[in-house]
Amino acid sequence: MRIAVGMSGGVDSSVAAYLLKEQGHDVIGVTLRFYKEECPENARVCCSPKDVQDARIVCDILGIPHITLDWENLFKERVIDYFIKSYKAGLTPNPCAICNKDVKTAFLGFYLKQTADIDFLATGHYVIKEGNKIKRAKEKDQSYFMALVPKQSLDYLMFPVGLMTKQEIRDIAKKINLPVANKVESQDVCFLKGMDLEDYLSQFIDMTQGDIVHIATQKKLGKHKGIHKYTIGQRHGLGVSYHKPLYVVEKDIENNILYVGEKEYLFKDAITLKDYNRLENFEKDNMYIQIRYNSKPIPIKHIEEDKDDVRVLLKEPATQVAKGQVGAIYFGDTLLGGGIIS
């Protein structure tokens, strides 16, 4: 088969390409360049010029062709602009999930199917694909970031390292002398390039001071430093004194008011997901929702559907439910779909 591998310059995608070549496939390395300038060495981001170079070196070692697509403008339009627009609206967006849908996984596969006549696009994500179902990986599961990927995209996506551990992948990379064997993996939002989130947002959003108000008593407790700097569930860095721990529980963007309250004001017994992306049908029971990457899945009591949106009633209250984040619904280890928390 003719398989393109999304090469990020990291060890996971590098080993994915190696495994597919060893299986006898016609493998092509494809790297997306999102920035022309170098990122700080300690930024731990992907898709920089250094990562493009690393991917090219790995492809040379493996003896497979490598191409680079300059998608800086596309990435800005579909991910960065979305990120900034969401924060301006008081939301807490998840750019990685949007990127997997609109740029580097689902859309890249579709683009290559049309232009390069590939059979599959493979990535280094820790995801298990069984048939056309997405399931959690055993280690470092990244299925949450696939919740917005359209169902039809699964026809041409594959995840060769989903059944492996990170250590197994690094061991293979060392065995075949790949220079990225010990490369530190990217963890930050890539386009921040190591910059603090507040500093980044301040370039695009007017950080005007406003009132911090207790949601129950309506008492003014102090001033915030710009409402877009705070996220739902945040406890530290509020700069106010109170006889009980306080959390950010609501943001009134229009009036520039940051509402805080005790932990009980964070509890939600229902979550609405807009623009729901259905991968599998809902089950009668034993479903769970995950509202942040690495957060504990929450048991679902019942789901109500309304056009493209779904309302998820929970068996136990959830905290830190932030509008703009992705809510991913599972049945056991199987990803059923997801949407944007509204």
The confidence score (pLDDT) of residue 96 equals 92
Identify whether 99 is a catalytic site residue: yes
**What share of the chain has pLDDT > 70, as a percent?**
96
The residue with tokens 């001071």 is 209
Predicted confidence band of residue 188 (pLDDT cuts 50, 70, 90): low
pLDDT at 7 over 80: yes
Identify whether 39 is a catalytic site residue: no
Among residues 179, 238, 162, 161, the alpha carbon closest in space to that of 10 is found at: 179
- Please list, in sequence order, all residues whose beta carbon lies within 8 angstroms of the beta carbon of residue 337, skipping any fewer than 6 positions away: 147, 276, 277, 278, 279, 280, 328, 329
Homologous superfamily (CATH) for 267-341: Translation factors (2.40.30.10)
Please report, for the chain, the start and end positions of each structural domain, with discontinuous segments joined by +: 2-192, 207-265, 267-341
Report the 10 Å Cβ neighbour count for 28: 20
* Residue 338 CA neighbour count, 13 Å, CB half: 30
Could you confirm whether domain 207-265 is CATH 3.30.210.10?
no
User: For domain 2-192, which architecture applies?
Assistant: 3-Layer(aba) Sandwich (3.40)
Q: Which two tokens stand for residue 159?
A: 């995840």
Per the residue annotation, which of 39, 46, 59, 190 is the catalytic one?
A: 190
The verdict on pTM exceeding 0.85 is: yes
The confidence score (pLDDT) of residue 206 equals 86
Distance CA 267, CA 191 (A): 32
The confidence score (pLDDT) of residue 44 equals 54
